[in-house]
């Protein structure tokens, strides 16, 4: 008696694509302790932020998080807890290629907010955008 396999047995398991990118929080008292990781997960053709956690530079380097580079919208999921230091889910990208959180609201339709990058100190005008290209390297 031959046993037939069901269709479920032939399906490949769905692999979740996820990685960690780094950001800084400009609202912490200690500038050396403001680094955090954001877990991003691939949903369809884009990345979404699903989780965040505090991390120190040495650990981030040993885990290879400082080498990650990603492109996408990086919208937060409903479960995303926000920055582990200040709680905001807002994310900015500096011209230096690094990301950081910010508390000011940037409205759609072109409102501009002036922010200071905690990575390089550059002050810039930030516009709401759909796509970011994030790089985590170089502390």
* Mean model confidence pLDDT for the chain: 82
Summarised one tens digit per residue, pLDDT across range 27-71 is 988 777 899 999 999 998 889 999 999 999 999 999 999 887 777
Q: Is this prediction's pTM over 0.85?
A: no
Average pLDDT over residues 13-20: 86
* Distance of alpha carbon 138 from the chain centroid: 16
> Look-up: residue for tokens 């998080």?
65
**Token code pair at residue 55:** 């991390």
Segment 92-109 shows an average pLDDT of 77
Closest to 114 (Cα-Cα) out of 105, 123, 106: 123
Percent of the chain with pLDDT over 70: 75
């Amino acid at each position: 008696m031959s046993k037939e396999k069901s269709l479920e047995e032939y399906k490949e398991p769905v692999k979740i694509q996820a990685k960690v990118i780094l950001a800084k929080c400009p609202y912490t008292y200690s500038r050396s302790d403001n680094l955090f990781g954001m877990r991003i997960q691939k949903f369809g053709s884009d990345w979404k932020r699903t989780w965040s956690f505090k991390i120190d530079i040495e650990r981030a380097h040993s885990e290879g998080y400082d080498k990650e580079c990603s492109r996408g919208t990086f919208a937060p999921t409903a479960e995303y807890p926000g920055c582990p230091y200040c709680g905001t889910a807002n994310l900015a990208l500096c011209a230096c290629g690094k990301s950081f959180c910010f508390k000011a609201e940037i409205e759609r339709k072109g409102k501009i907010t002036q922010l200071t990058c905690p990575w390089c100190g550059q002050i810039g005008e930030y516009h709401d955008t759909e796509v970011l290209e994030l790089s985590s390297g170089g502390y």
